[in-house]
């Protein structure tokens, strides 16, 4: 998809094209964040968080700072939750992100991981945030420069302004199960949603009752790692049949892919969404909470 096609998204300003970033990368009010991350399957089937910091040290977009989605953003006492406002302020200050900073985030997975920080910034009241369309792959393809040197930045004064409507708890999700006006969307690949595969060895398999499945991976072009065109996104979301007044709840395994679903909804012009950040890490481990398997169909 070319830069011209980006304008087809109602909220295209949430995406940054490599050419745009190449022009603005040295602006005083622009900060680039590398959010590369991955998970590795251990021998027992459990998942191990793998920081992208080693790859960041090899090469990154000039001037970029690094954020570890687990060590930096997960609450140390309750890892399924985002860090609190005070800790988030400290992190943003260290990264040189202030109230007037435009933040451009990237990873090497088309934004599937970087979206966690995109959502976190929105949750803490910072709207000047963009996702680099296609991430590091698109930056390479555009012939842009890379560097290995880590640049020190001047600390900023970030003030967190919590937007509580952008996040929900399991109690909120339980209420939404019986509320057709609040669609629930599972952003995991279909095998996990359907209950044919388990995300965590000790967790149940399936999905939250009534949830629709709109996989994050299906919304990213596998060849370019760019967000798919607006028409394709609309087709993927058509079964959810969202109306402008509805708040959509997104979830996944641990709040990462669900953050990307939240981002896509915003990109498509639907700002009324909320993230269940504890997601299946919490829901699937609690035998008192209902689950179902198979595909949910719109009524």
Kindly state the average pLDDT of the residues 271-291. Answer: 95
Give me the mean pLDDT over the 275-293 stretch.
95
CATH number at residue 171: 3.40.250.10
Give the model's confidence band at 2: pLDDT under 50 very low, under 70 low, under 90 confident, else very high.
very low
Is there a single domain that holds both residue 126 and residue 84? Answer: yes
Cα(227)–Cα(217) distance, rounded to whole angstroms? Answer: 10
| Cβ(96)–Cβ(154) below 8 Å | yes
pLDDT digits (tens, 9 = 90+) for 15-41: 999 999 999 999 999 999 999 998 777
Tokens 């149940």, residue located: 204
Same domain, 157 and 21: yes
Same domain, 17 and 111: yes
Provide the β-strand partners of residue 250. Answer: 185, 275
Kindly tell me if the per-residue pLDDT of 1 is higher than 50: no
Domain tally, the chain: 2
91 is in which domain, residue-wise? 3-163
Do residues 262 and 140 both lie within one domain? no
Tell me how crowded residue 142 is: count the other CB atoms within 10 A of its CB. Answer: 13
Mean pLDDT of 244-252: 96
DSSP string covering 208-272? -TT-EE--GGGGB-TTT-PBPPHHHHHHHHGGG---TTPPEEEE-SSSSHHHHHHHHHHHTT---
């Amino acid at each position: 998809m070319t830069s011209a096609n980006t304008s087809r998204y109602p909220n295209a300003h949430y995406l940054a094209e490599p050419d745009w970033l190449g022009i603005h990368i040295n602006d005083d009010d622009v900060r680039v964040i590398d959010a590369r991350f991955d998970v590795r399957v251990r021998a027992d089937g459990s998942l191990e968080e793998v920081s992208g910091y080693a790859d960041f040290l090899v090469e990154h977009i000039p001037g970029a700072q690094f954020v570890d989605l687990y060590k930096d953003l997960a609450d140390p006492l309750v890892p399924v939750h985002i860090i609190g406002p005070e800790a988030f302020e400290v992190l943003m200050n260290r990264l040189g992100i202030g109230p007037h900073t435009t933040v451009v985030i990237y990873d090497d997975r088309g934004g599937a991981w970087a979206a966690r920080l995109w959502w976190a910034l929105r949750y803490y009241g910072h709207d000047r945030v963009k996702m680099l369309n296609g991430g590091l792959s698109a930056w390479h393809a555009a012939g842009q420069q890379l560097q290995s040197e880590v640049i020190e930045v001047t600390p900023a004064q970030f003030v967190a302004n919590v937007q509580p409507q952008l996040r929900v708890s399991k109690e909120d999700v339980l209420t939404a199960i019986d509320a057709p006006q609040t669609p629930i969307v599972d952003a995991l690949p279909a095998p996990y949603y359907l209950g044919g595969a388990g995300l965590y060895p000790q967790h149940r398999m399936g999905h939250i009752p009534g949830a629709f499945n709109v996989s994050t991976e299906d919304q990213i072009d596998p060849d370019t790692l760019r967000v798919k065109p607006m028409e394709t996104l609309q087709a993927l979301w058509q079964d959810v049949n969202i109306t402008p007044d509805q708040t959509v709840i997104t979830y996944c395994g641990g709040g990462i892919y669900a953050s990307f679903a939240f981002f896509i909804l915003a990109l498509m012009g639907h700002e009324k969404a909320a993230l269940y950040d504890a997601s299946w890490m919490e829901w699937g481990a609690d035998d008192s909470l209902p689950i179902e398997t198979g595909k949910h169909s719109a009524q």
